[in-house]
Amino acid sequence: MLQQILALIIIIFFLIRLFGQKRKKEINAKEFLVWLIFWLLAAIAIIFIKQIDQLIAWLGFSGAAINILTYIVVLILVYIVFRMRLTMAKMDKNITELTRIVARRKN
């Protein structure tokens, strides 16, 4: 129970920061929505961890719900890193193209 309370306090801290970043326009609406959904789902998962444990046992998996949730979160984070890598590659390509255009104009 103490771990759940601590985890919820941490999530509240991140939600407060998230709303602060949105207010300061440090993140766009899409990023805000993605992170808001992520943190709310994390809070819901923590609140209903016992029910998730029962569901996982009913589905025939052995292991605690927290382990399954950890695996799911790791997969989500790997996907996010993959998407960020694609975005960075696209930005790199755009910067290279802009550099070429600027270099041609100077000559």
For residue range 21-53, list pLDDT tens digits in order.
999 999 899 999 999 998 999 899 889 988 888
Predicted confidence at residue 60, as pLDDT, reads: 81
**Average pLDDT of the residues in 65-92:** 85
**Average pLDDT of the residues in 75-82:** 86
Predicted confidence at residue 15, as pLDDT, reads: 95
- The H or E element spanning position 70 is helix 65-106
With the CA atoms of 21, 74, 43 and 64 taken in that order, what torsion angle do they form, in degrees rounded to the nearest 10? Answer: -170
Q: Where are the domains of the chain?
A: 1-47, 64-107
- The H or E element spanning position 31 is helix 29-47
pLDDT at residue 11 tops 80:
yes
* Average pLDDT of every residue of the chain: 88
With the CA atoms of 66, 71, 76 and 81 taken in that order, what torsion angle do they form, in degrees rounded to the nearest 10? Answer: 120
If pLDDT is split at 50, 70 and 90, which confidence band does 92 have?
very high
**Average pLDDT of the residues in 76-88:** 89
Predicted confidence at residue 80, as pLDDT, reads: 85
> What percent of the chain has a predicted confidence (pLDDT) above 70?
97
106 vs 27: CA distance, rounded Å = 35
